[in-house]
């Protein structure tokens, strides 16, 4: 029964055109970035960096390297936008349209309705990440050769990693597990707001605002001590997956915070939804 209800929820979700906005936006952004990589100084700068560290640039300026570089800004900017857009719609849109009233005149509990919606949202988040990573790699492969993976991220995260092609692909796949958890958390955040009595746009904006405030606080020296409390700090743990050897304690700590937040947001949303009156 749960699976049938989940299938129906997915019909509803993927029947809407706006669900595909994120996929389309990723495609356009990636094409634009590829164009920039091909015709800018990026290749020369990267080759210089690799040569300075004793690596052959021809081996590591590859589809995998470009795909990872394309992911970084998209994860930071586009992913929250589209995960929150769908999360904010999930309950509030049905409430606004009036279809929620029609669902809740049936002998189904509110918790069950929300759980089905949430699981459908998690599936959407996973598909969004898979599409993002898959598209990035396929498009990068069209323009760049197959080769080793080179990841360099300066700053507090500090990642410098060089690995052969197939090992790099495995790690690239591994980061997508973490990215899917990140996307699901962004979705759940907007989903939580969506469970309150508010418009879908308000839920989306609140979700995005929360993430933006986290990001701003994280980057202000004044809040240095409180960085660990910022969700966006922990979202960056996907980049740590490229480090050799794998910094398991750091990754697991961040994942625990993210998963804990995810669960908390779902419980808060469920409680808010449970006590509210559903009226026309």
Contact residues: another protein, CB under 8 A: 1, 4-5, 8, 11-12, 15-17, 97-99, 101-109, 113, 275, 277-280
Q: Using alpha carbons only, give the angle 221, 222, 226 rounded to the nearest 5 degrees.
A: 95
Contact in structure between 174 and 241 (CB atoms under 8 Å) = yes
Nearer to another protein, 3 or 142 (CB): 3
Work out how close the CB of 184 gets to another protein at its nearest, in angstroms, rounded to a whole number: 23
Work out how close the CB of 127 gets to another protein at its nearest, in angstroms, rounded to a whole number: 19
Give the C-alpha separation, 257 to 276, whole Å: 29
Nearer to another protein, 63 or 113 (CB): 113
Nearer to another protein, 100 or 257 (CB): 100
Work out how close the CB of 271 gets to another protein at its nearest, in angstroms, rounded to a whole number: 13
- For tokens 């998209």, name the residue: 74
Nearer to another protein, 59 or 115 (CB): 115
Nearer to another protein, 5 or 43 (CB): 5
Work out how close the CB of 114 gets to another protein at its nearest, in angstroms, rounded to a whole number: 13
Nearer to another protein, 48 or 101 (CB): 101
The residues near 188 (Cβ < 8 Å, ≥ 6 apart) are 87, 118, 121, 261, 262, 265, 266, 269
Work out how close the CB of 18 gets to another protein at its nearest, in angstroms, rounded to a whole number: 10
DSSP H/E element including 160:
strand 159-163
Work out how close the CB of 198 gets to another protein at its nearest, in angstroms, rounded to a whole number: 17
């Amino acid at each position: 029964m749960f699976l049938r209800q989940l299938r129906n929820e997915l019909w509803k979700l993927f029947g809407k055109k706006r669900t595909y906005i994120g996929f389309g936006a990723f495609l356009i952004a990636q094409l634009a970035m590829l164009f920039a990589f091909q015709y800018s100084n990026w290749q020369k700068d990267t080759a210089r960096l690799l040569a300075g560290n004793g690596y052959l640039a021809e081996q590591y300026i590859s589809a995998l390297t470009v795909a990872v570089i394309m992911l970084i800004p998209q994860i930071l900017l586009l992913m929250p936008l589209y995960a929150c857009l769908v999360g904010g719609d999930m309950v509030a849109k049905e409430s606004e349209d009036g279809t929620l009233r029609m669902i809740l005149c049936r002998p189904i509990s509110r918790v069950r309705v929300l759980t089905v919606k949430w699981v459908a949202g998690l599936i959407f988040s996973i598909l969004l990440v898979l599409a993002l990573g898959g598209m990035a790699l396929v498009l990068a492969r069209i323009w760049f050769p197959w080769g080793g993976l080179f990841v360099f991220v300066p700053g507090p995260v500090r990642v410098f990693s060089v690995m052969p092609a197939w090992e790099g692909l495995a790690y690239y796949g591994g980061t997508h597990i973490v990215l899917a958890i990140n996307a699901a958390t962004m979705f759940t955040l907007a989903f939580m707001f969506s469970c309150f009595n508010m418009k879908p746009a308000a839920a989306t904006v609140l979700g995005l605002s929360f993430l933006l405030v986290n990001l701003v606080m994280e980057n202000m020296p004044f809040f240095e001590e409180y960085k660990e409390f910022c969700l966006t700090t922990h979202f960056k743990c996907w980049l740590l997956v490229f480090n050799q050897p794998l910094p398991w304690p750091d990754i697991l700590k961040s994942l625990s915070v993210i998963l804990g937040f995810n669960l908390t947001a779902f419980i808060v949303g469920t409680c808010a939804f449970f006590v509210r009156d559903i009226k026309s």
